Chain A
Amino acid sequence: MKNVKAIVAGVTLAIVTALPAAAQEDPIVIGVASGQTGVLGPWDLAGRRGAELAIEDINAKGGLLGRPLSIVVSDTKSDPSLGPTAAAEVLDQGAEMVIVACDYDFAAPAAMATVAANKIVFSTCAADPKFGVQGIGPLAYTMSLASTAQGTMLAEWAYETQGWRSAYVMMDTAIEYTKSLCQGFRKRWTELAGAEAISGEDTWNGINDTSIAGQISRMKPAMDKSDFVMWCGFTNNGSVLRQVRSAGIDTPIVGSEAMDGAYWTDAVPGLNDFYVAVYASIYGNDPDERVNEFMARYQEKFGEHAPMGHAVTGYAAVEAWARAVEKAGSLEVEEIQAALDSFNNEPLLVGPSTFRPDLHIDLTRPLLIMRAVNGKYEPIGRFAPQKPAEPTF
C-alpha cells in the first residue's frame, strides 16, 4: 500500500513539476484503475504510459480549461475483484475521469464503480461493444475498434486487396473476443465471397491446449484449396503458430490486434506470410509520422519499446476526453458525454474516431495491416471496415 501511494505521489509530482508556468491552478486529476501488474500488465501499463504522454502534451500546451492535468494510478493487479477498490482509490483522490483495463471482463468492475460515482470511464482497448451504454452504462467509452468490425475489415482486405477467395478459419474458444472477431469475419467474408468460400473451420483452446496436433492434421489437407487462414487467436500465438509452421503449412495467416507485438515471434523462426491488423506500429515504421514520434517518446521516457500498438489507445483515451472537455467548456459530466457522443471521425492519435449516443465503441476506424517477413514486421497500409455489422446485445 505504501508503495502504491509512493508511486501515485511520484507520478503526480513528476507530471505536475513538468508543467509550464502558465498552468499553476489545481490540477485536473485523471485516474488509472487497471492492471499495472499481472496478466494484463503489459497492455494496461502501456495504456497508462500512453495516457501519461497525452497528459504531458496537453500540459505543454497550457493544460485543460487553463488547468494542468495530473494522473493518479491504482493497480488492480489484473484482478477484476480489486477493480472497485482501485476505482474508489483514484476517485477519492479527485479523479474526474478514470481509465480502466484493456478487456471487458477485467475492466467492468472498476468501470461500474466509476459510473456509479457519476464520472466518465474509458477502457483503453476493450473490443467488446458491451463496454459502453449497454454493458456498463452511458458514461462508459472504449477506444477500441469493435471486435466484429475488426473481423469485417480483415475479410474486406483479404477479398478486395489481396484477391483471396477461399479462407480456412481457426478460432480460439477460450475468450469472447476471438469468437466475435471470427463472427464478424465469417459474416462479411461469406457476403463477399459466398458461403462456399470457407474451405474449413476448426477451433482450439488457447489457454488449455499445448498441442494442436489434431487440428493440424485436418488443416493440412485443406490448405490446397485455401488462399489463407483467418486466425482468430489472442494468446499462446507463438506456441500454436510454431506448430503450424513446423508442420509445413506455409499458407498466409491473418490475425488481429490481439496478436500484435514482437514478443512471441521468436517461437516461430523466420515467421513469414503472417499478416496482422494493429492500432499502431511499434517498430518506428508506421506510415503515420505522429505514431512514430509517439513510439520514440515512449521509448525515451520509459526506457523500453512499447510492447504493442495498444499504447496509443491509452493516449487516445486522454486525448478524446480532453477534446470533449474543451468542446463542453466545463467538467460537467453530461456536457462532456454529449460532446463525446457527437464525435464523428474525430482525429485522434489512434485514428478518426466516432461515437454515437447508443454506441460508445468505434465501428469504422482504420487499423494498420503489417506483414511479417522473416520475423520482421513491415507496414502495408491502413484499412477501415466498409460495412461493419451493427453489434447485437
Chain B
Amino acid sequence: MDLLVQFIIDAVSVGGLYALTAIGIGLIFGVVGLVNFAYGDFVMIGAYTILLTIGFYWPVTILIAAIVLIMVALAADFVAFRPVRLASPETLMIVSFALSYTIQYSYVMMFGSLARTVNFLPAMSTNLEILGIRIAGVSILQIVATIVLTGALAAFIRFTRIGYQMRAVSENPTMARLVGVDINKVIAAAFIASALLAVTVSVLFVAQTGTMTPFLGLNLTIIGFVATVIGGMGSLVGCALGGFLVGFLTTLLQLALPADLQPFREAFVFGAVVLMLLLRPGGLIMLATARERI
C-alpha cells in the first residue's frame, strides 16, 4: 500500500511541471488558436531572470521575473504574432518556432550553452516524510499551484468581463470583433496570463533542479504540448490532467520496463499517447468548440 501511495506521489511529482506548462500552452491555444512553441523559452527566460536577480529577497526576485516575462510575452505578441494574426495556423506555428530559436540562441550568445546553476529557495527542495511516504516540498507546491492556477484561470475566464471576451474570441473571432470586442486587448490579456503561468513554472523548475540551460524550454514545450493534445486542446482542466498523465506514464514505465528497454522509455510513453488518441481523438476532455473545428 505504501509503495502504491509512494508511486502515485512520485508520478504526480513528475507530472506537476508538465501540467503547469500544458495549461500555459493550452490557454494561448484556446484563445488565439496559436500553438506557441516559444512558450518553454518564456520559462527559460524566467529561469535566467531568477539567476540574475538571486541576490534579492526571493519575493522581489519572483516579482522581477514576472514583470520581465509579462513584457517578453507582450513583446512576442506585438512583434511576432500580431503581424501574422490572420495567417494560417501553420504560419503562426512556424513563427513560434522562429521565435523559439531566436530566444534560445540569443541566450546562448549571452550566457553560453553550459548549464548555469543557482541554489534558489533551498527550503522548497527539502523532502518531507509523512507516515513513511516521501515527497519533496517543491512537488507539493507544484500540485497546489496546478490546482489553484487551473481554478483561478477557469474562474477568470468564466466570471470576468475580459474572460467572457476571451471565450467569445475563442469561439468566433470575427463575430467577437463585430460586436465590439477589442481582440488585441483580449489576446494581450491571454499572453499576460500565460506569462504568469510561465513564471510559476520558472520558479518551481529552478527550485526543483537548481539548473538551467538556454535549451531547457524545448523538452518542456514538447511534453507540455503533448499534454495539451491528450488532455483536449483548449480545455484547461484537460491540459492539467494531460500533464499529470504524461508524468504517470513516465513513472510507470520507468518502474515497469526491463533494464534493456529503459533507454527506449520515451518511445513507449509517446506510443501510449498515440494509442490513447486513437481511442479518444478529442483528448480526455473534448470541448464543443473543438469538436466543431474537427
Contact = CB atoms under 8 A, between A and B. Distances in A.
Interface of A: 37-42, 78, 173, 179, 201-205, 207-211, 213-218, 220, 235-239, 242-243, 246-248, 261, 263-269, 307
Contacts of A207: 219
Contact of B215 (A39, A216, A263): A39
Interface stretch (B24-32, B90-98, B261-269, B280-288): B261-269
Contact of B263 (A173, A239, A246): A173
Given A208-B219, A248-B127, A266 B119 contact: yes
25 contacts: A41-B113, A173-B265, A201-B259, A208-B223, A208-B266, A209-B14, A210-B209, A211-B13, A211-B139, A213-B136, A214-B7, A214-B10, A238-B115, A238-B117, A238-B210, A242-B125, A242-B211, A243-B208, A246-B125, A246-B136, A247-B136, A263-B115, A263-B117, A264-B117, A267-B209
A203 B263 contact: yes
B79 interface: no
B253 to A, nearest CB: 10
Interface in B104-151: 108-109, 112-119, 122, 125-127, 134, 136, 139
B11 interface: yes
B17 A211 contact: yes
Contacts of A216: 10, 134
Nearest to B17: A210
What is the size category of the interface that chain B forms with chain A?
35 or more
Contacts of B208: 210-211, 239, 242-243
Given A211-B208, A213-B10, A247 B127 contact: yes
B106 to A, nearest CB: 12
B113 A39 contact: yes
Nearest to B127: A247
A175 to B, nearest CB: 10
Interface in B155-211: 205, 208-211
Closest 5 CB pairs of A and B: A267-B210, A239-B209, A267-B117, A173-B263, A213-B13
A307 B51 CA distance: 19
B235 interface: no
B102 interface: no
Nearest to B263: A173
B140 to A, nearest CB: 12
A41 B112 contact: yes
Contacts of A266: 117-119, 210
A243 B136 contact: yes
Contact of B116 (A215, A248, A263): A263
B272 interface: no
A265 B215 CA distance: 19
Contacts of A217: 6-7, 10, 134
